Amino acid sequence: MRVLRTTQEVDAIPQPGIRHLIQQRLSELDLEEPYDRMGELILVEPGDTPAFLEDRTGIWITSGIFGDAKYGEPEFMPSFEWLEHQADCYEMLFVISDDGFGTVLFVPDAVGIDPDLLAFCREYATTTA
Distance between CA atoms of residues 100 and 35, nearest Å: 14
**Spatial CA neighbour of 26 closest among 116, 107, 18:** 18
Query: Do 7 and 41 contact (CB within 8 A), yes or no?
Result: no
DSSP for residue 32: P
Which one-letter amino acid corresponds to residue 125? A
Indicate the Cα dihedral angle 83, 84, 90, 92, nearest 10°.
-30
Letter for the amino acid at 79? S
Instruction: Per residue of the chain (129 residues), give pLDDT as tens.
Output: 999 988 899 999 999 999 999 999 888 877 766 776 677 899 999 999 999 999 999 999 999 888 889 999 999 999 999 999 999 999 999 998 777 778 999 999 999 999 999 999 999 998 764
Beta bridge partners of 105: 42, 92
